[in-house]
Chain A
Amino acid sequence: MPLDNAPEGKRKFNVVGTRPLRPDGIDKVTGRAKFGADASAPGQLVGRILRSPHAHAIIRKIDTSKAEKLPGVKAVITRDDFPDHTGGSGGLYDTLCNVMAREKAFYEGHAVAAVAATSASIARQALKLIKVDYEVLPHVTDVDEAMKPGAPLLHKDMFTDGVDPKPKKPSNIARRFEFGHGDVEAGFKKADIIVERSFKTEAAHQGYIEPHAALASMGPDGSAELWCCTQGHYMVRDVCSQLLGIDIARLRVTQSEIGGGFGGKTTVFIEPVALALARKANRPVKVVMTREEVFKASGPTASTSIDIKIGVTKDGLITAADGVFRYQGGPFQGCSPAEFGAMSAFAQFHLDNVRAVAYDVVCNRPKTISYRAPGAPMANFAVESVIEELAHKLGMEPIDFRIKNAAREGTKSSYGPVYGPIGLGATLEAAKNHPHFKAPLGPNQGRGMAAGFWFNFGGQSCVTLNIPVDGSITVSVGSPDIGGSRAAMCMMVAEEMGIPYDHVRAIIADTSALGYNDVTDGSRTTFATGMACILAARDAIKKLCARAAATWGIPEDAVKWENGYAKPAGPNAGDFAPLSLKEIAEASPGTGGPIAGHHEFSADGAGVSFATHICDVEVDPETGRSSIVRYTVIQDAGKAVHPSYVEGQFQGGAVQGIGWALNEEYIYGKDGRLQNAGFLDYRIPVCSDLPMIDTQILEIPNPGHPYGVRGVGETSIVPPLAAIANAVANATGVRFTQIPLSPPRVLKGIEEAKKAGGRKAA
């Protein structure tokens, strides 16, 4: 759908661009909002899951007989209660294997059995009575180790895809991808300076406050209901019904308020288990994860190992860029975001010769799932670190080096498509002109920057808009609101209808009330579901005009809609007093019944998004501790529907990136068990660890949306790792190639550099 008033894109807005309060705000701050664990049902049982203590083991036998006999236990389930309805391969089969282990437990925390009982303590006792006979196997948790010949094999039938000829020996490499264009070897021959480095990043968790929770009930006729916290209840419905072998239409899923998702709630973990327990017990069952389960058995992001090689001419033009991206995604193929990492790695540059090779690797770790711009932050860390180093070698200001090589409209991107209008250059120029960029630095401080990219996504949305007799409006959407999207939906509807924002209320409808809606991911909701809201409003306006036309006895196309009123389209249409939305709604019972608008589609044209971050870090030279002293995010939003919530997305992504860069990591012991499965030792930053994150919204309209909107939720986590690493490098003179930049690691780097007499890499 084209931009309104294109090409200038200078539409005047009344509601869009203002900052009203979100409709869900009061319920959230007063405790009235109902989250995943807040629902209850009559006769409800407590469901709990038994998890593997081993990182890799064959499950020879599971004896549940003692648990079943314990008074108060109403159901015990294992793999035997999940007959395979998936066809035995592919992503859905892997999901089945992940929600309940089959032949093997693939990671510490992998579900192997579950019970439903009348109390939590009986359920816990019952878990202890389940005897699992394991044959413990050697395990591997490091991506480089997993790729070595002779590494413990997770799947005997995994032969790397994407390699010609297909290997004859199985390995832990599920697939090889390659992206790029030109001839990198020829490009490197033209280079005067080449920098080549290897990087490693550890897995991070999305760290949402709310643990996964689900309340399931299933009747003897196979009709089922599920209440859960998720980023996509239609996805939950479709996946669960397929895993359980029931008709999709029999399962009705209602999404609770969500206490954070960040990509981590775009799949199922406990939901099919709760349903299977409810089916077997014939009672409602509630399953709530503990924080330890969230860390061990939900889906963190990938750990990676990355090699980057970039060549430049003396005058700072990149001649070739080459990268190898190894991502482990847990035990199943296609789960690591290696492909997105490789696709996004060089996307911010205009390159004649570029190649990005990715390996999707399996390991004995939890099955990874999306984390905000999945795969991009790690790749960006590696690439933008090398870019900064090249700029220093060239004696060029890093920002000028980036501007010189920046992708622009018409650039063939490193992953294939040719860019339309993009905001990268504008964010770089804005960074260069930002007061932050010129502010003086204190002792032991360094400034770093990085530019990042994310694709953004459109996808399927279905929206219904109802107009009751008082002329207020209910918008039913099927996209869970994880970042203020209900406010944005109301604003766009109010904008179209020409009425005040607070006359519109948006709700998240259950799966039986609307057609399919894709998961809230890919920064798609304000863009795609928002566009569906605009089009549903336009559909309703058409009907409102038709009612007015009938009232006046003139043709429908002789009526126009303006600022909340139906008016005769011109002097020839007749002389009638305008009818307000409220007047038409009031009369609707007698003019044809209820008035509703509707739109369903699959949205194309999600505009790509770029951001530039500037960061000042102070590194304590005696302790190695880094503190963020100033941070600025500059990002293209296309059109900021609600600027405060756009700024919130910018800040939130930056903060999660700061945590990942400085503190957060999955720490595994030699036994393959996670050492820090709690917030005591998995440290996410809090407000007092941080300066105010400054933001600057740029608006380079996306031609694929009537208002120019681009998704904004993900790009903001892409540049922080590199921006911080570059700042630390500039503060210490040491290039760090591994995150997190923990104090011992940084101090070691500083001391080794001192011994070696200057700048080096650590």
Chain B
Amino acid sequence: MSKNKSKTNKIYPILSILIILALWECLCVFEVVPHYMLPSPAQVVEAFIKDFWLLMSHLKVTLLETLIGTLMGVVIGYGSAMLMDRWEPAYKAVYPIVVLTQTIPAVAIAPLLVLWFGYKMLPKIILIILITFFPIVVGTLDGFRSADQDAINLMRSMGASRWQIFKHIKFFQALPNFFSGLKITVAYAVVGAVLAEWLGGFAGLGVYMTRVKKSFAYDKMFAVIFLISFISLILIWLVSVLQKKCMPWEYAEVTKRKRDENKCVRN
């Protein structure tokens, strides 16, 4: 895709968002909706600026929880996927449990975790691990299993060990799935952290949220909601960047001209 085209592609979503914001502002300015129920975008921005440093200090806590939780979730998820790929009995024993953990809503486990582990960081991190490891396990395991059997046989004929087959084929085969899982995971992780903070804690965006809710400061409420969305978007974008770095072959250019050049080398 040319640079110009990708620029015009970006114009559409930006335009639609601007229109929505403008409509929203109109609703508030002309008092169609009373401002104590729905603050205008301008008021939200004002609240955001006023509370900026406070928000940042809470954000730091939430981000730290997210980071630790996601990292551990990814490691546990990837490890379980490797284990289940290696030993069929492990797959049969563990996979149903993995699926089962996902049928329990996070909102239901969170209060229990707070009850068991207190108001500090631990229950939040555990909840994030529970949320994040599932997409990683499922995606990565699917990736491992979709590896081309012919390629694996060829490696075997060359005398490759299981570990070499993993390193040269399965690992790479699972990368796209892994990154898709990771993108879902980071977005969920932030939400999970906020959810756990809601239910009790000393700092974090969720704690801030419950405080401003109790004081009916809806402009601040919206400010923190937007901040959470924005952070999630940034994290997803970061994963995309990482993916591009880790998978250069996906983005290698194939031009018709190059192909023809290659054909001409010898013939």
Q: Tell me whether A and B are bound partners.
A: no
Question: A-contacting residues of B (Cβ < 8 Å)?
Answer: none
B-binding residues in A (CB < 8 A): none
